[in-house]
Structure 1
């Protein structure tokens, strides 16, 4: 097929703010995890699929399969849908308190 561009698991995106390798970031409603460091506005490779340990709101308990949202203001995951866009689901139980959680990225834009 002539219209295929790329698989899409990793995309080159403009960093919306300074990001470090392994940090989550949001471009519009597209969430990715940086595969390298980048200054704000610089291109960065962002991984959109897979399971990652990501920072989370500490005072939350997650169950396996719970929806996970990105709180862009605090640069962390949250189980409260009012905090941001849907980025995936929890793959491991996260206890309260804990500062990281395992998240399977949904591989697309929020709501996709």
Structure 2
């Protein structure tokens, strides 16, 4: 097939801000990735866009398996706040309140009736 480009699990993308390794970044309103290395603003770097990652979360928040997770770009964490934030994944393991991280399957998920 001559129009296949790549598998899409890891993409080379140039963020509009510096992104530390292991931290997420939302490109536009629909493409979220986690930096695999420190990436400088405006310079292409590797971002994981599919799979399961351990990512920072709002510490004072309990998360259950199956909870939709939203990106808080200001604090660079995921949480369960649906208003004014983009869904970037779903929890695949519970995370206690307090705790620093959660296991998240990358991807945007819309609940039925949402």
**TM-score, with structure 1 as normaliser:** 0.89
- The alignment yields a C-alpha RMSD, in angstroms, of 1.5
SS state at 2:51 partner? strand
**Structure 1 residue aligned with 2:43:** 42
SS state at 1:81 partner? coil
Structure 2 unaligned spans of 5+ = none
What are the residue-to-residue correspondences of 1:14-53 with 2, within 5 Å? Answer: 14-28=14-28, 29-53=30-54
**TM-score, with structure 2 as normaliser:** 0.88
Q: Conserved in 1, the CA contact under 8 Å of 2:89 and 2:109?
A: no
Aligned length: 109
- Taking the aligned partners of 1:21 and 1:97, their CA distance within structure 2 comes to 23
Structure 1 unaligned spans of 5+ = none
What's the offset of the Cα at 1:83? Answer: 4.7
